């Protein structure tokens, strides 16, 4: 698919991978709509690109619904939804919607947004590209009935569980909507703003040593290569997982259709969507 003139929505666009993706997609000729949590940072990304930014805090499901309404009002077609928003929280936090925040931001809110935009994506012959994580590969299966986390909270465990939940929901979405192309991908490891709640990561992000670290772990631009490939490829996408630009096996737990179906129903109940 040639991206020239295509409407591409990018969530998590205020920094890191999302910011890099917005710039590269714009350079490829797409009409990009950057969506971010920070109005100031998202506006800065959009400046000079001729793009009108949108803001949404995925820790509030009302914000996700508002975002979907604005997108439907503004966009006669949506060719690509890049579902990239994510976070790692330092401590166990429950949102006003009643969910553990890492799970809600990383899995539940993207699930809700995809579903609210499904009809527009279908009518546009569109696709969904989801930012995943290599933490899903070979991970033990999560319990769909315990999505709010264990009694002992650990930030990176919660993050990995939320990404596995997102991977399961992505594959279930592909099964339920075969007319919409869907894929997820691991963007690589790089210094970014994902773990904004952890003081060590915040310190590293603003450290003079950041450039040195990036020489070893890479930058968001490498991950954008795979994202752009999935956004523009003519190869049909039916829920596959990609890493380093190639289709990769995500592991049996990420492809467990039974658990995915159970999780889908729990998320539908939690967001008020029909089963």
Take residue 166 and report the two structure tokens written for it. 């997102």
State the distance between the two ends of the chain, measured CA to CA, in whole angstroms.
32
- List Cβ neighbours of 153 (8 Å cut-off, separation of 6 or more): 91, 92
d(Cα 130, Cα 108) in Å, to the nearest integer? 13
Q: Measure Cα distances from 253 to 41, 44, 181 in Å.
A: 36, 39, 21
**Ordered DSSP codes for 151-201:** SS--HHHHHHHHHHHHHHHHHHHHHH-TTSEEEEEE------STTTT-HHH
Q: Which run of H or E residues covers position 8?
A: strand 7-10
Q: Enumerate the active-site residues.
A: 159
d(Cα 32, Cα 8) in Å, to the nearest integer? 5
Q: How many CA atoms lie within 13 A of 257 on its CB side?
A: 4
């Amino acid at each position: 698919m040639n991206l020239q003139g295509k409407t591409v929505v990018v969530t998590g666009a205020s920094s890191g991978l999302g910011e890099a993706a917005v710039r590269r997609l714009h350079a490829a000729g797409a009409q990009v709509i950057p969506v971010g949590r920070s109005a100031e940072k998202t506006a800065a990304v959009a400046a000079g690109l001729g793009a009108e930014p949108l803001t949404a805090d995925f820790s509030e499901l009302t914000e996700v619904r508002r975002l979907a309404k604005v997108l439907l009002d503004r966009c006669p077609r949506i060719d690509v939804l890049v579902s990239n928003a994510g976070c790692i929280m330092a401590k166990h936090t429950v949102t006003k919607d009643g969910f553990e925040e890492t799970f809600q931001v990383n899995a539940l809110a993207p699930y809700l947004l995809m579903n609210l935009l499904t009809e527009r994506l279908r009518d546009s012959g569109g696709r969904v590209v989801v930012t995943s994580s290599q933490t899903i590969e070979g991970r033990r299966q999560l319990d769909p009935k315990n999505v709010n986390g264990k009694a002992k909270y650990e930030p990176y465990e919660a993050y990995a569980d939320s990404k596995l939940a997102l991977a399961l929901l992505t594959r279930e979405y592909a099964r339920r909507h075969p007319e919409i192309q869907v894929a997820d991908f691991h963007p690589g490891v790089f210094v970014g703003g994902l773990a904004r709640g952890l003081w060590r990561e915040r310190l590293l992000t603003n450290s003079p040593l950041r450039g040195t670290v990036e020489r070893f772990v890479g930058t968001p631009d490498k991950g954008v290569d795979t994202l752009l490939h999935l956004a523009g490829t003519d190869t049909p996408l039916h829920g596959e997982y990609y890493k380093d630009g190639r289709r990769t096996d995500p592991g049996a737990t990420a492809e467990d259709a039974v658990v995915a179906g159970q999780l889908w129903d729990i998320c539908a109940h939690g967001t008020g969507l029909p089963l």
